[in-house]
Amino acid sequence: MGDSKASRKITVGILTSGGDCPGMNAAYRAVARVSMAKGYSVVAFRWGYKGLVESDALSVSYLDVADILQRGGTVLGSARCEEFTTEEGICSAMDSLKSWEIDYLVVIGGDGSLKGALRLARRGAKIIGIPKTIDNDVPELDNAIGFDSAVNTIVDSLTKLRDTASSHHRAFIIETMGRKSGWLALASGVAGGADVILIPEVPVDYPVLAQEVERRLRAWGAYVLIVVAEGAAKGDDVRTVLESLLKKPVDMRVTVLGHVQRGGSPSAFDRILASRLGYEAVNLIERGEYGVYIGLANNAIRSFPLERLEGEEREIDMELYEISKLLK
């Protein structure tokens, strides 16, 4: 019995979970290709934890992961799965790992999805997490997969909105994603030269904001770009409050970037990061290590115990925020 187990090929399971973002396919491809190069079998679950709970999976071939490096979204699909939060759902997920003979499961997901993976790890599943999220709120990491691409998308939008704002002497309020974290608004605001950046981590001081808008619009041809993270305030609410505070009417427009930020082809940075992380996940498997998530921390690929996700949340870079105030 021991011998047949030892001679059996290692099977690596993969799933993508949580909100999609650019670079998930690049990570899937990297895990699959490096696994195949090492002679392992690869099984992918469709629709995230839903596929795991329902045992909906495919045996992955080389061609299944061809031509996906450059594609946004996730070809494996992602879905919310209430069942996975129940005892019954977790048991079904464990059964499905067993029936597909999965030795290691690589979960490509955000903070919430990786916490879900921890529940499986506590039942004995051998898990490796590859973090992706445009919110960039994974503890310990510099950049999660998808963040750089989303920042580039927002910066591109800011460049376009600057053209129209300057042509019409207007104030633009641009709402970005980021429910709990201001990373996306801060990084894209700095890179896109926003005049004001509003983030959930710093309460909005509306009277000061109104004065700032008035001061900026005084000059001929002036305009204002205000970037606001959805977690700080809704763009429409910022506009309503400003309208009530401004001494003279100001021509204001609100642009909600919405899910556009989650789509598109991954940046070169995200493709490289996803490839490195896929490679590292398989290296860990080769060494028999698991129960961790991996990522770029202080510019090196490192691993952290999944339990770390239950600890303190990732804080925003307040130094960058302070710098942004001096640049405006």
**Residues annotated catalytic, as ranges:** 135
Tokens standing for residue 159: 């460049």
β-pair type (171-176, 196-198): unpaired
Between 202 and 241, how does the x/- string for binding to ligand F6P read (CB under 6 A)? ----------------------------x-----------
In the list 178, 192, 266, 295, the residue contacting ligand F6P (rule: CB under 6 A) is 178
In the list 81, 107, 173, 177, the residue contacting ligand F6P (rule: CB under 6 A) is 177
179 part of the interface to ligand F6P, by CB under 6 A: yes
CB 174, CB 227: distance < 8 Å: yes
Total residues binding ligand F6P (CB under 6 A): 10
146 part of the interface to ligand F6P, by CB under 6 A: no
What's the DSSP call for residue 265? Answer: P
Residue among 11, 8, 1 nearest 97 (CA): 11
132 part of the interface to ligand F6P, by CB under 6 A: no
Task: For residue 176, give the 3-state DSSP assignment.
Answer: strand
Q: Which stretch binds ligand F6P (CB under 6 A): 8-16, 127-135, 159-167, 202-210?
A: 127-135
Q: Which is nearer to ligand F6P, 126 or 262 (CB)?
A: 262
Question: Which residue carries 């045996």 as its tokens?
Answer: 59
135 part of the interface to ligand F6P, by CB under 6 A: yes
H or E, element range at 32: helix 24-37
223: Cβ contacts below 8 Å, ≥ 6 apart: 162, 165, 166, 168, 169, 170, 171, 172, 216, 217
144 part of the interface to ligand F6P, by CB under 6 A: no
215: Cβ contacts below 8 Å, ≥ 6 apart: none
In the list 107, 134, 224, 254, the residue contacting ligand F6P (rule: CB under 6 A) is 134
For binding to ligand F6P (CB under 6 A), which residues are involved?
19, 110, 133-135, 177-179, 230, 262
